[in-house]
């Protein structure tokens, strides 16, 4: 039995039936991290001691025949913007180096209550700003499929750690594609839940009207399994949906019969590389063979989503990141002047991309630009919502690539800012709409790098998205292909 | 067409954002910001008359209010834990008023 390849339901069963102990599972992952993390730099902090202790506690409880929580002993690792009381949270920034939160994020508390063991914290683009993982202050995470390539971002460590099997499941965050794009690049499954479905209390904010936490896993089955613990109402998050969701794992059915998948014209854009296009069309053929129908749809406002996103995300970021001023937490410059304390602390400790986005956001929110850029963008965002509403009158789910290319070289997209931002075309409109979507592996390019297929659903249509993705995985084995370092 | 973001504009915005820029950053950020703002000019071409701004994906639908019950929250010690300078239970900052 290869523990690292077990699905989460299988792992739970093996732990419940004492086929494997929690300590064995945690030890295995710690050994894997020791061996492979130096190659890919996915972890910023490994909580080996507390994980081993927690595993031992569950083993003792199980041995004594005592009750244990349902997921006791399953190791999870977190993007380093999710607050944890007993381990540092840095957002991969010098600003928060060595910072310990006084509380656990709601999802961390919920996962711990359910028995999950927190293995550590994962690298990311600094404050989640970036699409390649390269803006981290501490280290550059590499793609497990080819360590000369980026893992994508901003949840770079979460996708890479999952791909290399350095945790049983990981958590990321998605503001404009930051779960889906790196999951696509690393050949794993990344799920962005509907805005309001998963509590964000204790997740360091980037753009509050777009941010969402979600899981990255080996399979759709694993995503559904952990979503049952993540999708709980939280009174501490005013955007958290009060409606109790059904159990995604219990209702997971592989059924694509009669499913209408809408393919927007703009998702087969000119910049789509031929290898990605080919893999996507092969995936669509597979869907047809299991009973789905592909319908052409028109979503004319998706393209304008790029500048709309730029304006809204950066405006919200400039406001959210004002709290990093050297006073309450984080880096503090040594100066006797209050204004200098703010500005020197921020200038010294925030990364270049972060500073640029704060300045852009500040520009947009000035009274001279506010109407033209910020208010205009929020109105055009309504057009994007209408595009989605229209689309879901014609189809059940929207389908397309997760990104236009496969994983690129380090430094490969940093020449002009627009080049990097345009790469987000396929993912950002979903955040602007607020609904849910997934990326699943659907093939490889000629260099052997994974291609991600994206399925987007309506507001709170999590089950529909997961079932359609599950149907694909029941008919194919792309999700079971793993990079060499995960195979041993 | 909007006027270019000049060096002076950039320094003014950066000061509002409490960020100091060195010469290299001034040059790079001015170029990047102008590129992004130029790209965003296409937003102005759309007619948004009578369109309600979409402030949040769930605005007006969810956002339930908590019941107004007094509960314990972060202790003073916990709230101050992340600060590098505190005094008598307060965050300490340099003196702001003369006299």
Residues B19-77 have pLDDT tens digits of 999 999 999 999 999 999 999 999 999 999 999 999 999 866 656 677 888 988 899 99
Cα distance between residue A394 and residue A261, in whole Å: 9
Q: Which of A22, A158, A178, A205 is catalytic?
A: A178
Give the neighbor-by-neighbor strand order of the sheet with A169-173.
Answer: A43-46, A117-122, A75-79, A169-173, A213-217, A189-192, A437-444, A450-456, A397-401, A260-264, A293-297
A178 is known as an active-site residue? yes
A73, A168 contact by CB (below 8 A): no
Residues A197-255 have pLDDT tens digits of 999 999 999 999 999 999 999 999 999 999 999 999 998 998 998 888 899 999 999 98
Domain count, chain B: 1
Residue from the list B17, B64, B93 with its beta carbon closest to the beta carbon of A362? B17
Is B25–A373 a contact, with Cβ atoms under 8 angstroms apart? Answer: no
> Before A221, cis peptide (omega within 30)?
no
Is A366–B13 a contact, with Cβ atoms under 8 angstroms apart? Answer: yes
Q: Cα dist. A295→A265, A312, A393, A397, A427 in Å?
A: 10, 31, 12, 10, 20
Q: What is the pLDDT of residue A243?
A: 86
Residues of B in contact with A196 (CB under 8 A): 57-58, 62
State the DSSP code for B60: T
The H or E element that residue B77 is part of is helix B76-80
In a domain, B41, yes or no: yes
Q: What is the pLDDT of residue B58?
A: 86
In a domain, B84, yes or no: no
Closest to A319 measured CA to CA, from A238, A381, A384, A374: A374
Give A67 to chain B, closest Cα distance, Å. 30
A79 is known as an active-site residue? yes
Q: Is A271 exposed, middle or buried (0-12, 13-18, 19+ CB in 10 A)?
A: exposed
Is A238–B63 a contact, with Cβ atoms under 8 angstroms apart? Answer: yes
pLDDT classification of B4: cutoffs 50, 70, 90: confident
SS3 call for B2: coil
CA-based torsion, A122, A128, A131, A136: positive or negative: negative
In a domain, B60, yes or no: no
Pairing of strands A169-173, A213-217: antiparallel
Give B99 to chain A, closest Cα distance, Å. 15
Beta-carbon count within 10 A of A367 CB: 6
Q: Among all residues of chain B, which has the CA nearest to that of A97?
A: B82
Residue from the list A209, A327, A358 with its beta carbon closest to the beta carbon of B55? A209
Question: In chain A, which residues have pLDDT < 50?
Answer: none
Q: Cα dist. A48→A164, A334, A369, A441 in Å?
A: 18, 34, 50, 30
In a domain, B92, yes or no: no
Residue from the list B17, B53, B91 with its beta carbon closest to the beta carbon of A382? B53
Q: Does B36 touch chain A (CB under 8 A)?
A: yes
Per-residue exposure over B66-88, b if at least 16 CB sit within 10 Å of its own CB, e if not: eeeeeeeeeeeeebbbbbeebee
In a domain, B35, yes or no: yes
Q: Among all residues of chain A, which has the CA nearest to that of B33?
A: A360
Q: Testing the interface with B: which of A100, A309, A311, A328 to mutate, by most B Cβ within 10 A?
A: A328
Q: Kindly provide the ipTM of the predicted complex, given to two decimals.
A: 0.94
Taking the CA of residue B43 as centre, how many other CA atoms within 13 Å lie in the half-sphere pointing to its CB?
30
Residues A105-133 have pLDDT tens digits of 999 999 999 999 999 999 999 999 999 99
A104, A202 contact by CB (below 8 A): yes
What range does the domain containing B26 cover?
Answer: 7-45
| Residues composing chain B | 99
In a domain, B95, yes or no: no
In a domain, B30, yes or no: yes
Is A417–B35 a contact, with Cβ atoms under 8 angstroms apart? Answer: yes
Q: What is the pLDDT of residue A170?
A: 98
What domains, with CATH codes, occur in chain A? Answer: 3-254+459-486 (3.90.1300.10)
Residues A434-479 have pLDDT tens digits of 999 999 999 999 999 999 999 999 999 999 999 999 999 999 999 9
Q: Which residue has the tokens 């990255």?
A: A216
């Amino acid at each position: 039995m290869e523990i690292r390849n077990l699905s989460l339901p299988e792992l739970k069963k093996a732990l419940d039936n004492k086929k494997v102990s929690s300590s064995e599972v945690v030890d295995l992952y710690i050994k894997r991290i020791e061996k492979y993390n130096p190659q890919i730099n996915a972890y910023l902090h490994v909580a080996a001691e507390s994980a081993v202790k927690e595993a031992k506690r569950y083993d003792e409880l199980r041995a004594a025949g005592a009750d244990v929580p349902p997921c006791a002993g399953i190791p999870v690792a977190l993007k380093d913007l999710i607050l944890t009381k007993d381990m540092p949270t840095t957002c991969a920034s010098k600003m928060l180096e060595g910072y310990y939160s006084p509380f656990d994020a709601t999802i961390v508390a919920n996962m711990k209550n359910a028995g999950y063991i927190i293995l550590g914290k994962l690298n990311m683009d600094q404050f989640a700003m970036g699409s390649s993982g390269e803006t981290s202050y501490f280290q550059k995470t590499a793609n497990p499929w080819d360590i000369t390539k980026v893992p994508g971002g901003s949840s770079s460590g979460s996708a890479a750690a999952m791909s290399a099997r350095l945790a049983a499941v990981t958590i990321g965050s998605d503001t404009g594609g930051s779960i889906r794009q790196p999951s696509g690049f690393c050949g794993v499954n990344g799920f962005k839940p509907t805005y309001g479905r998963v509590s964000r209390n204790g997740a360091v904010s980037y753009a509050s009207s777009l941010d969402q936490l979600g899981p990255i896993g080996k399979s759709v089955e694993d995503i559904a399994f952990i979503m049952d613990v993540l999708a709980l109402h939280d009174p501490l998050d005013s955007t958290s949906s009060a409606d109790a969701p059904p159990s995604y794992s219990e209702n997971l059915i592989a059924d694509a019969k009669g499913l209408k998948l809408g393919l927007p014209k703009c998702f087969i854009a000119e910049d789509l590389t031929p290898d990605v296009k080919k893999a996507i069309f092969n995936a669509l053929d597979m869907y047809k063979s299991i009973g789905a129908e592909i319908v052409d749809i028109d979503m004319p406002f998706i393209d304008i989503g790029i500048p709309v996103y730029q304006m809204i995300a950066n405006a919200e970021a400039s406001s959210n990141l004002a709290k990093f001023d050297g006073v309450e937490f984080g880096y503090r410059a040594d100066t006797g002047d209050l204004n200098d304390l703010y500005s020197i602390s921020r200038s010294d400790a925030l990364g270049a991309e972060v500073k640029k986005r704060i300045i852009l956001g500040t520009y947009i929110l000035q009274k001279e630009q506010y109407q033209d850029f910020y208010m205009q963008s929020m109105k055009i965002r309504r057009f994007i919502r209408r595009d989605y509403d229209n689309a879901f009158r014609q189809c059940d789910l929207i389908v397309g690539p997760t990104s236009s290319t496969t994983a690129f070289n380090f430094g490969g997209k940093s020449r002009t800012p627009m080049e990097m931002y345009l790469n987000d075309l396929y993912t950002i409109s979903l955040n602007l709409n607020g609904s849910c979507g997934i990326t699943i592996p659907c093939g490889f390019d000629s260099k052997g790098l994974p291609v991600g297929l994206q399925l987007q659903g309506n507001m709170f249509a999590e089950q529909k998205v997961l079932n359609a993705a599950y149907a694909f995985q029941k008919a194919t084995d792309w999700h079971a292909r793993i990079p060499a370092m995960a195979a041993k | 067409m909007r006027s270019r973001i000049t060096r002076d504009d950039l320094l003014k915005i950066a000061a509002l954002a409490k960020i100091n820029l060195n010469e290299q950053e001034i040059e790079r950020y001015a170029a990047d910001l102008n590129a992004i703002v130029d790209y965003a000019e296409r937003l102005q071409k759309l007619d948004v008359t009578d369109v309600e701004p979409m402030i949040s994906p769930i605005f007006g639908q969810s956002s339930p209010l908590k019941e107004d019950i007094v509960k314990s929250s972060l202790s003073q010690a916990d709230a101050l834990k992340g600060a590098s300078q505190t005094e008598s239970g307060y965050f300490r900052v340099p003196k702001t008023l003369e006299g």
